Structures are given as C-alpha cells and as structure tokens.
Amino acid sequence: MQALLEAGIPLAAVISNRPAARGLDIARSHGVATAVVDHREHPDRESFDRALAARIDTFQPDLVVLAGFMRILTPTFTRAFAGRLVNIHPSLLPAFAGLDTHRRALEAGVRIHGCTVHFVTEELDHGPVIAQAAVPVHEHDTEDELAARVLAQEHRILPAAVNWFLAGRLRVNGMRVSLVDENMTETALRVPETS
Ligand code: NHR
C-alpha cells in the first residue's frame, strides 16, 4: 500500500478489517481517507463481505487492491468486484497458493521464488496473472531473508500493474492477461537477478 502511495497512485481510501493495521496510519499521514470494517463484529463471512463491499462502494473506486489483506472473500464479494479486484501474492502462482509461502518455498527446495499480481476470483489465489517477479533462493536463506527479497519485488510490480489497469491497458482472455500496446514479456516479467 505504501508503494502505491509512493508511486503517486491516487488512493480513494485505505480500508482494513483490523483497527490497529499500520497501513491505516500510513494512509492518514498521506491524507488518504481510511475506514475499518472489523470482521469480529460480523457473525459470518457473508455478513462481513457485504459490509466491506458497501463501505468500498461509498468511495466509488475504479479498482480494489488487496495488499496484505488476509480474509478469504466469498463469491458474493468477488462477483461484485469481478474484473476490478486484484491481489499481490508472495509466490510465483500457481505454486504456493495460500499461506506461509516463503517457508513452504524453502521446504520445497525451489531455486526460484517470487510474487504475483493477479485478478481475484472466487478460487483462492488462482485468478488471471497480471505480473510476476522472480528472485533467486540462496543456499542459506532464512524465511525472513527470502521474504524481504520478494517484498522488494512486490513493491515494483504492484504499482506497475495498478498503473496498467488504471490506464485501461489490461485485457483478460480466460486466464491470460495482455497489455495493450506492449509486449507483456518485456514488461510484466521480472527475471531473477543472481544477488
Ligand atoms: N479471496 C478470494 N476469493 N480469492 C482470492 O484469490 C483471495 C481472497 C482473499 C485474500 C489474498 C491471499 C494471499 O495473497 C487473498 C486472495 C488469506 C488467506 C487465508 O487463508 C489465503 C489467501 C490470501 C489471504 N486466510 C484465513 C481465512 O480464514 C485467515 C488467515 C489469517 O488471518 O492469518 O480467511 O495470500
């Protein structure tokens, strides 16, 4: 979220389900509107998702970005925002969907790891891929070291993907996303560096 602000992307609002989320303070310090929809005040996911969707609608955003948002969304929500809802996920999807991606990548012994910006659909972490960045996994990496290397790339590809969306340059064809007027391979793929 901070990377979006620093990239100059106009945020209509920052909304969290956690009242103590640090992103809320960062947003306030940038003069961005904030709201909290606390999931603990709702009896079930449907009710939370309806309240969240209603609050988002008051801000009339062009795009909804999940950035560290940790609640699985029901089809009621994903259908309401279909085609204008994206997530940044800390793995090279479809590898390591779900949680604890860096620990699982280390356990699996992969040499390359990374992050993915994708459209959110009802199938968790399986929507059409917009951009990916790869990083090397070093021999003696800890989970934290690997996470930091991936995070630096998350901060590059999320603002890039959001800018493409806002410029109306993304086309979705089934699971494949293309970028109008540009070769996607040269722009939406970040290849691993060796350090
Ligand atoms: N919802 C849908 N329908 N589809 C996606 O692709 C979604 C989504 C909601 C969140 C982000 C995702 C990630 O990038 C995301 C993608 C949380 C969980 C999870 O298991 C899984 C994936 C993601 C985020 N959440 C637990 C739950 O029961 C709670 C875990 C916790 O609070 O620590 O909701 O990683």
Ligand 1 and 102: CB distance under 6 A: no
What's the domain count of the chain? 1
Predicted confidence at residue 111, as pLDDT, reads 97
Is 192 a member of any domain? no
Residue of 70, 93, 120, 122 best suited for mutating to test ligand 1, as the one with most atoms within 8 Å of CB: 70
Mean pLDDT of 30-59: 98
Is residue 67 one of the residues assigned to a domain?
A: yes
Give the per-residue SS3 of the chain.
CHHHHHCCCCCCCEEECCCCCHHHHHHHHCCCCEEECCHHHCCCHHHHHHHHHHHHHHHCCCCEEECCCCCCCCHHHHHHCCCCEEEEECCCCCCCCCCCHHHHHHHHCCCEEEEEEEECCCCCCCCCEEEEEEEECCCCCCHHHHHHHHHHHHHHHHHHHHHHHHCCCEEEECCEEEECCCCHHHHHEECCCCC
**Residue 103 included in any domain:** yes
We report the CATH number of the domain holding residue 93 as 3.40.50.170
**Quick check: is 42 catalytic?**
no
184 has a pLDDT exceeding 80: no
Instruction: Give a yes or no: residue 195 inside a domain.
Output: no
Residue span of the structural domain in which 143 resides:
2-187
91-133: pLDDT as tens digits: 999 999 999 999 999 999 999 999 999 999 999 999 999 999 9
Checking if the pLDDT of 192 tops 90, the result is no
Q: Does residue 100 lie in a domain region?
A: yes
Specify if 193 maps to a domain.
no
In a domain, 11, yes or no: yes
